Structure 1
Amino acid sequence: MPLFTDQAFPPDWQSAPLSRSLSFEINSAYTGQRYRILLGLPHQAPDSAGYPVLWALDGQASLPIMEFARPKPVTAKESPQWRARVGEQAALLIVAIAYASGEPIDVHARAQDYTPQIAGAGDAFSPRHGGAAAFLSFLTQELRPLVAQHFTMDARRHTLFGFSYGGLFTLHTLSTAPQHFQRYWAASPSLWFGDHHTLSQLPLRLDQLKSQFSQADWQVMITVGAQEQDPPFDAAAALQQKLAERRMVDSAERFAQTLNEAGIATEYQCLPAHDHYDMLMHGARRVVDFASRAC
């Protein structure tokens, strides 16, 4: 429980295995799925604007990595210098969205939630897809109001973090409904989905995006691993062919370049010697500071 308040939480909000964390489950009227929500509690009270909030997809996998990065409350054992340093760190609230199955990566549930509606089939790994609009409604119209009953949120600092399909959802949300978040971190976005549908639709949405981005302090980060398109020489031939067809690096770079050319400042990183899952660990570790930055 947070050390700075004695507020009471609902009885079904239970302590989670990580430090200063709570967990509860919720059924969504929008998606029809049941979610396990993990809350990484802030280490101190917020400033007058409220807490910056990090909305982390694949929460069962991402929150444990974020645990290493989020600030911890001080105790009487800490030196005055350390207490001063911690006191300067933003009090971040993490809302990690996972599934009641308990799987760190729930293949079918996330395939439904994180992908946009397209014509034709989805992914060979799952027959389910196309629920991104419903999932966004769950995030913004069910989950956010519920959490906001207990935590004051800074309306200028909502960050969406997603990896792989979650990164696809992050960029799809950025390009179709950017008003819901001000900061976006897409780690290894699966832009190949639906014949690169989200990437191909981006130029059609730039005018709307530019009008939105001129009104707020927006921050966008897109990351990808170099080995996601150029694997080690000893990789199986089938893997090399699949990665070549998906063009993960080219697509991520093109998405970032398109935004930058439109005047929407976007950071892009292609990390050498990193593969797909490396980028989950890289992003989850660093997005904590990204979400906590002052406006």
Structure 2
Amino acid sequence: MTDRRQVLAAALGSLLMPTARSIAAPALPEATGPYALPGTFVHPLPDPVTGRRYEVWVDLPPNVPPNAPPQAGPRPAVFVTDAPYAFPLVRALRNRVGQQGRNLADFVVVGLAGPADESAVEMRSRDYTPSDPRTRPGRPADRFGATRYGEGATYLKYLADVAVPAVSARYQLDPDRRVLLGHSYGALLAAQVLFAKPALFSHYILGSPSFWFDRHLMFDREAAYAKQHTDLAARIFQYVGAYESVAPGPRFNKESDLVADARRFESLLRKRRYPSLRIESRVLAGEDHLTVAPAGATLGLLWALPGKGPYEG
């Protein structure tokens, strides 16, 4: 009896076991090229002053032809720094969270991209920063390893004179719903725009802003602005991860307390009592500098460009 059971079990196992031929993976055809996100367009848009070969990446809402006129007036738009990371992220958030305009307005995504032959680290270190901290004594050399810093004013001029006007005209963007979203150094750039040309954008989403940069230079810029102006017509949303303070542990910052800096920034602006200013800040539990952007950007977009509603989760 035992022998018969063993024979039956072996026979059944042979029937259920796939053959080597049936589990062999098919040959993968050669790749046909990089995947292109549907509805996206790359526009070379060099800086006529510096000659740098910048690009703008544009993504229209789903099912909108590139030359179609807006059906209900000019289009809202979100300009994002650090385009290789933020452009696909914000595009995905609009499509997933937005639910075709119900939860988020169907906005145009505009990626501010550096020259294709230049590293993102070099570009953002040069173009997003307001000064070169290496000219000051006593700065740690390992914290500033890029080739150039402090050309934020030059890049801001490119944004104001070239990129924003060209994209706004081509895609019929609404100046009253034109958002600038930046993270880290990108938020540092957004703060520079805020105090130099606040009307360039209607809303500013500052993600984990690097206010620590060059001995908190942006707080000096804020004070200089306050001496010359009685109003700041801007809407500002800040987000920062709870781990972006200084404490023991692998997810906490080792040097710069971004949570305290963001709170200080909001406090200073509120004390100015600018009649047209609106500012809101969020500290997101469980998030650090590397993980906070998706959740923070989602909250910022819901704040800046709410949809037609009612919201559906």
Counterpart of 1:230 in structure 2 is 246
> Which of residues 234, 259, 262 in structure 2 aligns to 1:249?
259
SS at match of 1:67: helix
Counterpart of 1:4 in structure 2 is none
Question: 1:102-121 residue pairs with structure 2 within 5 A?
Answer: 106-117=120-131, 120=135
Counterpart of 1:7 in structure 2 is none
Letter in 1 for 2:192: H
Counterpart of 2:223 in structure 1 is 203
> Which of residues 189, 197, 220 in structure 1 aligns to 2:209?
189
CA shift at 1:148, angstroms? Answer: 3.0
SS at match of 2:94: coil
Counterpart of 1:75 in structure 2 is none
> Which of residues 99, 105, 122 in structure 1 aligns to 2:114?
99
Contact 2:192/2:218 (<8 A) preserved: yes
Counterpart of 1:11 in structure 2 is none
Letter in 2 for 1:107: V
SS at match of 1:281: helix
Q: Give the TM-score taking structure 1 as reference length.
A: 0.77
C-alpha spacing 1:203/1:47, structure 2 compared with 1 (3 Å): farther
CA shift at 1:208, angstroms? Answer: 4.7
Q: Give the TM-score taking structure 2 as reference length.
A: 0.72
SS at match of 1:34: coil
User: Which runs of 5 or more residues in structure 2 are unaligned?
Assistant: 1-33, 308-313
> Which of residues 8, 14, 17 in structure 1 aligns to 2:36?
17
Counterpart of 1:267 in structure 2 is 280
Counterpart of 1:277 in structure 2 is 290
CA distance, structure 2, for counterparts of residue 42 and residue 225 of structure 1: 29
CA distance, structure 2, for counterparts of residue 25 and residue 16 of structure 1: 19
When the two chains are superposed, the root-mean-square deviation of aligned CA atoms in Å is 2.9
SS at match of 2:218: helix
User: Which runs of 5 or more residues in structure 1 are unaligned?
Assistant: 1-14, 73-81
C-alpha spacing 1:91/1:46, structure 2 compared with 1 (3 Å): farther
Counterpart of 2:159 in structure 1 is 139
Identity %: 25
CA distance, structure 2, for counterparts of residue 145 and residue 200 of structure 1: 29
CA distance, structure 2, for counterparts of residue 49 and residue 208 of structure 1: 35
Question: 1:69-84 residue pairs with structure 2 within 5 A?
Answer: 69-71=93-95
How many residues are treated as equivalent by the alignment? 258
Counterpart of 1:78 in structure 2 is none
Letter in 2 for 1:253: R
SS at match of 1:254: helix
> Which of residues 267, 289, 302 in structure 2 aligns to 1:289?
302
Counterpart of 2:79 in structure 1 is 55
**Which one has the largest radius of gyration?**
2
Contact 1:23/1:36 (<8 A) preserved: yes
CA distance, structure 2, for counterparts of residue 210 and residue 31 of structure 1: 34
CA distance, structure 2, for counterparts of residue 156 and residue 268 of structure 1: 21
- Which is further off, 19-28 or 129-138? 19-28
> Which of residues 200, 214, 219 in structure 1 aligns to 2:235?
219
